[in-house]
């Protein structure tokens, strides 16, 4: 991979990782509702799951998703259904009593969510299509993709989870928590609106 391509890929990966999307919004909401420590399994699950997905996709799954539109469509529909459920649960949650709140996402759930995360799947397919030779697997390209996406995902996860933890100190009334959770739920729906419109 040439230097100009590497710079372009780095820019693409950074923008894709740090802009609002299902992973980032869910991490911020989890930290705000449950705290930084209880969100750690979710954080590690996102990093591990997305890195694993990038690795498998770079080794050939990206081509499979492109060649089988039905599989990609199924993943999108499952992802949208799950995100709608999460958005509803988030909007309905506004109690300051942590005992009444639903639990944060577990590690394995966060790993599996990467497979149905519409934004994540689109980002990976786009990166592989634009920046790798899809006719063959080049290990140096795979290594660059995996390493780059690991670091930008790590940075994004830490930033959004830490932001949620900072916001938590301001959510000292049920009204404030309700406004935050409903706003996060709305942003979550907006983040997948392009995918939903593409299905219609």
From the first residue on, what is the mean pLDDT of each consecutive set of 10 residues in the chain (200 residues)?
Answer: 84 90 90 90 96 87 67 76 80 58 85 86 80 71 91 96 89 80 82 71
Tokens of 31: 């930290």
Find where tokens 């639990």 sit.
103
3-state secondary structure the chain: CCHHHHHHHHHHHHHHHHCCCHHHHHHHHHHHHHCHHHHHHHHHHHHHHHHHHHHHHHHHHHHHHHHCHHHHHHHHHHHHHHHHHHHHHHHHCCCCCHHHCCCCCCHHHHHHHCCCCHHHHHHHHHHHHHHCCCCCCCHHHHHHHHHHHHHHHHHHHHHHHHHHHHHHCCCCCHHHHHHHHHHHHHHHHHHCHHHHHHHC
pLDDT of residue 100: 46
Find where tokens 């933890």 sit.
165
Contacts of 2 (CB under 8 A, 6+ apart): none
pLDDT of residue 51: 94
pLDDT of residue 64: 66
pLDDT of residue 66: 65
pLDDT of residue 110: 94
pLDDT of residue 139: 82
């Amino acid at each position: 991979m040439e230097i100009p391509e590497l710079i372009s890929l780095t820019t693409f990966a950074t923008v894709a990782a740090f802009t609002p999307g299902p992973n980032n919004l869910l991490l911020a909401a989890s930290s705000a509702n449950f705290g930084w420590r209880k969100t750690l399994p979710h954080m590690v699950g996102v990093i591990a799951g997305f890195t694993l997905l990038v690795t498998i996709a770079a080794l050939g799954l990206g081509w499979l998703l492109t060649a089988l539109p039905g599989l990609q469509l199924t993943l999108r529909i499952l992802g949208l259904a799950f995100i709608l459920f999460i958005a509803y649960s988030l909007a309905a949650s506004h109690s300051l009593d942590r005992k009444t709140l639903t639990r944060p996402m577990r590690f394995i759930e966060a790993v599996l969510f990467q497979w149905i995360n519409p934004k994540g799947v689109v980002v990976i397919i786009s990166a592989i299509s634009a920046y790798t030779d899809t006719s063959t697997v080049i290990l140096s390209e795979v290594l660059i993709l995996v390493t780059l996406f690991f670091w930008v995902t790590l940075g994004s996860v830490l930033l959004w989870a830490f932001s949620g933890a900072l916001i938590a100190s301001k959510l000292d009334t049920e009204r404030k928590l309700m406004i935050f959770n409903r706003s996060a739920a709305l942003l979550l729906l907006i983040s997948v609106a392009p995918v939903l419109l593409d299905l219609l």
